[in-house]
Amino acid sequence: MELGNSCFRGQEDGMRIDNRKVGLIGTGMVGMSYAYSMLNQNACEELVLIDLDKKRAEGEAMDLNHGLAFSGSHMKIYAGEYEDCADADIVAICAGVAQKPGETRLDLLKRNREVFRSIIEPVTASGFSGIFLVATNPVDVMTRVTCDLSGFPPERVIGTGTALDTARLRYMLGETLRVDPRNIHAYVIGEHGDSEFVPWSQAMFATRSIEEIVAGDESPIRMEDLERISEEVRESAYRIIEAKRATYYGIGMAMTRITRALFGNENSVLTVSALLNGEYGQRGVFAGVPCILNQNGVRRVLELDLTDTEWEKLAESCEILRESYRGLE
């Protein structure tokens, strides 16, 4: 999926010549972890906070502004309305409703779809023509909902997908191998949820495959370690929620990394939730897969050379996502 002209305002030949503006919808812990990370990384020039609880949005903006003197940023931060998204480059959605006791996952999905409808309609009506970045769970389904409700080209609707899961994997592999996680090249793909998996056939440490390292006589890591790591990555969120009731710092930093890739026109590879249009034999489903990201959004979905077993796991994961979405129809 190769794209044409930049969707960012004021760009010629991929060069940024005016303010980078982000509209953040939802000022809960995830949204504000993103905002705090954006401020500390000086990732944009203008950040507007939007929430149904306007007083909270105002308070969060004040709190961030009072720390500007300690940062290297001159970011303009303020509470605003949906109309303020008109000239935004990115609208990040972190809003959603919590599951009620006894409520089914499908009922929760239906309520969140209505929440998204109440967000996306006024955002698009404002004249917004940038990129949607979705973090609300279940993120793959909500990214598809965003694409459908907005009518935007799918390359300009991105979910956080398995970006955080992949970071967790790289951290755990780095700890086990005692190397910098940045030198680990491995991915978690599929649903951001219980059916996600690690295609170990594609995992690398520098220029060596993880499977090759495992097979070595003096290897510090064995196949059972890989199985343990896969399970720990998949269950990380549950463990964090059990310990502190929510997870938000990691996803906030993941969102900032995606934002920087977009604003920087980096052509970086990140595992985000993107529409599959024939890749991996799948169509009409948003799932977490490695994608090249630049100022236009998803430039291309990368197809890994999966084994037959891995191919089947991805197909099963995509079918779970399709089934979830069908329940909304």
pLDDT per residue as tens digits for the range 135-172 = 999 999 999 999 999 999 999 999 999 999 999 999 99
**pLDDT class for 325, splitting at 50, 70, 90?**
very high
pLDDT for position 220: 83
Class in CATH terms, 11-159: alpha beta
110 vs 299 pLDDT, higher one:
299
Residue 35 one-letter amino acid: A
Domain with CATH 3.90.110.10 in the chain: 163-326
Predicted local distance difference test score (pLDDT) of residue 16: 45
Q: What is the pLDDT of residue 117?
A: 97
Apex CA 24: angle with CA 18 and CA 25, to 5°? 145
Ranges for all domains in the chain classified under CATH 3.40.50.720 = 11-159
The catalytic position among 66, 74, 185, 192 is 192
**pLDDT (0 to 100) of residue 8:** 56
pLDDT tens for 258-275 read 999 999 999 999 999 999
- Residue 114's pLDDT band (cuts 50, 70, 90): very high
Separation of alpha carbons 183 and 177, rounded Å: 11
| Mean pLDDT over each residue of the chain, to the nearest integer | 92
Amino acid at 195: S
Q: What is the CATH topology of the domain spanning 163-326? A: L-2-Hydroxyisocaproate Dehydrogenase; Chain A, domain 2 (3.90.110)
Q: Give the range among 15-29, 110-124, 223-237 with minimum mean pLDDT.
A: 15-29
Please give the average per-residue pLDDT across 94-114, as a whole number: 85
The terminus-to-terminus CA distance of the chain in angstroms comes to 27
**pLDDT tens-digit readout, 31-82:** 999 999 999 999 999 999 999 999 999 999 999 999 999 998 899 999 999 9
- Per-residue confidence (pLDDT) for residue 52, from 0 to 100: 96
The confidence score (pLDDT) of residue 7 equals: 55
Q: Which class for 70: exposed (0-12), middle (13-18), buried (19 or more C-beta within 10 A)?
A: exposed
Pair 158, 299: CB distance under 8 Å: no
Q: What is the pLDDT of residue 254?
A: 98
The whole-number pLDDT of residue 46 equals: 98
Locate 207 and state its tokens: 């220029």
- Is 192 an active-site residue? yes
For tokens 């169509």, what's the residue? Answer: 283
